[in-house]
Structure 1
Amino acid sequence: MDDLAVFLDRVDALVAKLEPAQQRELARKIGTEIRRRNAERIKSNTEPDGSGMAARRGKNLRRLRANGSLRAGQPFYYYGRLVSLTWVKDYGERFIGGFAAGDNSKVGVYLRSHVKLASKANKRMFRRLPMAKWLKAKTEVGSATVGFWTGSAARVAAEHQSGSRKNLPPRTVLGFSPDDIEWIEQSVIEYLAEAL
């Protein structure tokens, strides 16, 4: 039996002495705070134990849109090499651009189909996942549940929580940190001291 289960068994006996309305109020308070704490951890890409989540794989590159264009100074990958041009001209299927290298300038031709841009998704995972629209706290008499219930957010969170997809490292999206358990214990004690 893990520490959380032992802790819950001890607390359940005390909470059972409260009126149903008091149990709902306590569950709402705890559920709201645990939801907020999990949302902060998800935003900062931190596991409940305080360690960082496993990083994304690869460079996460994306193709240039069919009608998209390059701007001068915009970095891009061409056959795996990072390139940044000081001037660019768009000629449909190819770009012509130049850059200064030492004392002379160089001009190159770049095929649109081989130009890759670094995706912004490289920066941080789960940017929208902790929004209240998807991460919700539900309370009932004597219980509070925090999680993702429907839609793509639930699927993404479940895949990362278990690492179920091929080559996907597990990332604990929802969980209890030692500070969370200590906070819950302290909140229940304070509430019981006032209510009983």
Structure 2
Amino acid sequence: MSDNFSELATWAAPLLAKLNGSARRQLMRELAKGLRKRQSDRIKAQQNVDGSAYVPRKPQRLIRSKQGRIKQTLFNKLTKASHLKIAITDGSVAVGFDGRTARIARVHQLGLRDKVSRYRNEYDYPKRELLGFSDDDKTWARDFLIDHLTR
């Protein structure tokens, strides 16, 4: 599948053009919220876009172990709406990260080399696809548009 929704966009463009501005923006907002929820759920499940599991985190050296400590999964906080942003215009929807969060997500998304912290050495991060569209996402978006436009 291609990484964009060009086929879906060409199919839906004439139908969306018939909607007035506020109805189109409302449709785009609902679509963006649904896509953000799907991306967030996939990140929480620790899965790449193709359904494979993330490469596990490198074992951490602990100076002392803390009893009763709950270990967090990778990208636990990135799934929150405060980090996973939505950008909406009349003709497009974007779901992604911004600022420092975007830099961290980009390193993991592309599997780049980066410093672990300010005073530590660089590390080659394994590729973990945080954002992307699967065939299931494309099908969901098509069904969502059909349901919304037939109402």
- TM-score, normalized by the shorter chain, greater than 0.5: yes
Shift of 1:125: 0.7
Say whether residues 1:148 and 2:149 are aligned partners. no
> 1:23-172 to 2 correspondence within 5 Å?
23-57=24-58, 59-64=59-64, 124-151=73-100, 153-165=101-113, 166-172=123-129
Bigger strand share? 1
Q: Report if aligned partners of 1:20, 1:142 keep a CA contact under 8 Å in 2.
A: no
Q: Secondary structure, in 3 states, of the residue corresponding to 1:172?
A: coil
Q: Which residue of 2 aligns with 1:97?
A: none
Q: Secondary structure, in 3 states, of the residue corresponding to 2:55?
A: coil
Q: Secondary structure, in 3 states, of the residue corresponding to 1:137?
A: strand
Q: Report if aligned partners of 1:160, 1:169 keep a CA contact under 8 Å in 2.
A: yes
Question: Residue type of the partner of 1:36?
Answer: K
RMSD: 2.4
Unaligned runs of 5+ in 1: 65-69, 75-118
Q: Which residue of 2 aligns with 1:186?
A: 143
Aligned residues: 140
Question: Distance in 1 between the 2:29 and 2:132 partners?
Answer: 18
Q: Secondary structure, in 3 states, of the residue corresponding to 2:127?
A: coil
Larger Rg: 1
Q: Report if aligned partners of 1:161, 1:172 keep a CA contact under 8 Å in 2.
A: yes
Tell me the percent identity. Answer: 33
Q: Report if aligned partners of 1:137, 1:146 keep a CA contact under 8 Å in 2.
A: yes
Question: Residue type of the partner of 1:138?
Answer: A
Bigger helix share? 2
Unaligned runs of 5+ in 2: 114-122
Say whether residues 1:176 and 2:140 are aligned partners. no
Shift of 1:138: 2.2
Shift of 1:120: 6.4
Give a deviation string over 1:124-155, Cα, whole Å, max 9, x none.
2111111111112222213221111122x211
Question: Distance in 2 between the 1:127 and 1:157 partners?
Answer: 12
Using the size of structure 2 for normalisation, the TM-score is 0.80
Question: Distance in 1 between the 2:61 and 2:18 partners?
Answer: 57
